[in-house]
């Protein structure tokens, strides 16, 4: 069973996919670093508690402005078709029945090119930069 994980990782690399899109352990490790070092959050965007207030203090801006600085409009957030294909294949693994795109859309997933993990567009972190997400209209190859 473990060998299949390594085959999937090699296949992902051959497609040009980041390892974190295929290896959940790498993704979780990188996400935890984003939480610990870059204040990735809020943990539950539907109940942010003091996250946006704290973010406003960190940036020395209003809470209203802080709430606009989400992963979904960060220039490091990759939601291109190619990246979604990488994320989709990683979620599916060997399962033919898994509707990975439903998960991607429901969780508003993309890939953070700065912190190297699957990222939710409704969250934020201190690595945020202006410019909007990377999609197929602005992607350079």
Query: Over the stretch 15-45, which tens digit does the pLDDT of each residue have?
Result: 789 999 999 999 999 999 999 999 999 999 9
Tell me the domain boundaries of the chain: 2-120
- For 41, phi then psi, to 5°, come to 170, -170
Q: What is the pTM of this model?
A: 0.88
Segment 68-109, tens digit of pLDDT: 999 999 999 999 999 999 999 999 987 888 999 999 999 999
pLDDT score of 94: 79
pLDDT of residue 15: 79
Q: Please report, for residues 15, 105, 110, 114, 119, the alpha-carbon distance to residue 75 in angstroms, rounded to integers and kept in the order given.
A: 23, 19, 11, 10, 13
């Amino acid at each position: 069973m473990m060998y299949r994980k390594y085959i999937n990782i090699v296949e992902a690399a051959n497609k040009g996919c980041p390892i974190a899109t295929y290896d959940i352990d790498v993704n979780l490790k990188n996400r935890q670093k984003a939480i610990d070092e870059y204040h990735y959050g809020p943990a539950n965007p539907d109940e942010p508690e003091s996250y946006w207030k704290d973010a406003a203090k960190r940036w020395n801006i209003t809470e209203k402005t802080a709430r606009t600085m989400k992963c979904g409009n960060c220039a490091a957030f990759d939601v291109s078709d190619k990246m979604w294909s990488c994320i989709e294949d990683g979620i599916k693994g060997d399962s033919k029945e898994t509707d990975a795109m439903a998960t991607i859309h429901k969780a508003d997933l993309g890939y953070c090119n700065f912190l190297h993990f699957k990222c939710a567009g409704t969250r934020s972190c201190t690595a945020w930069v202006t410019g909007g997400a990377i999609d197929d209209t602005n992607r350079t190859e």
